[in-house]
Chain A
């Protein structure tokens, strides 16, 4: 631990922790909005990992480019996801996923 922010392993561990928290939030919470925020957490942790590895292999900018595309896809995903949440709320008057049981059985 002589160089906390100067080795790539510290970023890998931090990114894994954020990904874990996001994944648990997605699996455990029942509020659709919180689940969408958890997905954002996971995407952010992957971005951090890509940029950290790009910093180690610094001769190309591929990691930065990938992170940029992930940010763009995340923005699109959030727009469509929130539209679906609004439509679902109009149908069911709730934002809890337990009520979305049309295809159950």
Chain B
């Protein structure tokens, strides 16, 4: 048992346990902690694969930003984030979809494991995965994608602000908030509904 194998086993167990907690936890805040465990495990595996730059990025972006964003939203929603769902009307189709996905994945993994292939990781250059090496690739052949990613991040930030802020300025009365279904239900069916819609249109 070398140190590398121990690192791999510990990180793999952390990844799998965290993933299972993420998916199975009833309380989403526990799910966020499971996601954090998985992220740390994958960061450890990145270290084992000698991708030091990506280890740092993984910890900064995922553990530092994404999980914190999840926790912020969970705190903002409060107990509604883990309120029990109403009786599902799609339980059977969900179970069927999940079962099909599991069967397909397990078949794929079994076909891989049955081939008994072993590709060793092998020796690499001493600066493999360092900031310099990744930077040379990113600002050489990948410069166009890099610029596109900056544009994507700006658009995402502006879009997130625009979507999350909602409509500002006018505080809507509680009575005017209707079910959105009414907006798209076709022509008004009753005279009273027509009058209601007409009076609101005139406002």
Instruction: List chain A positions with a Cβ less than 8 A from chain B.
Output: 3-14, 16-25, 27-31, 33-34, 36-38, 40-41, 44, 47-48, 51-52, 54-56, 58-62, 64-65, 67-69, 71-80, 82-87, 89-91, 93-96, 98, 102
Contacts and interface: CB of A to CB of B under 8 A. Distances in A.
Contacts of A14: 12, 15-16, 45
Given A20-B102, A21-B19, A96-B85, A82 B73 contact: yes
Contacts of B180: 91, 102
Contacts of B124: 55, 58
Contacts of B125: 58-59
A78 B54 CA distance: 19
A87 B166 contact: yes
3 cross-chain pairs, A with B, having the tightest CB-CB distances, nearest first:
A5-B8, A58-B124, A25-B23
Given A65-B137, A80-B163, A93-B80, A37 B102 contact: no
Contacts of A90: 166
A64 B137 contact: yes
B32 A37 contact: yes
B117 A64 contact: no
A56 B119 contact: yes
B120 A22 contact: no
Interface majority SS (helix, strand, loop, mixed), chain A: helix
Contacts of A3: 5, 118, 120
B22 to A, nearest CB: 5
Interface string B61-103: 1100110011001101100111101101110001101100110
A36 B70 contact: yes
A47 to B, nearest CB: 7
Contacts of A16: 105, 108-109, 112
A17 B166 CA distance: 39
Contacts of A84: 163
Contacts of A6: 4-5, 120-121
A40 B35 contact: yes
A73 B124 CA distance: 28
Nearest to A17: B16
Most chain A beta-carbon contacts within 10 A, residue among B53, B125, B155, B163: B163
A69 B153 CA distance: 11
Contact of B23 (A38, A52, A58, A68): A38
Given A34-B28, A91-B180, 11 more contacts: A8-B120, A9-B119, A20-B102, A30-B88, A51-B51, A55-B128, A61-B137, A68-B138, A78-B66, A86-B73, A94-B80
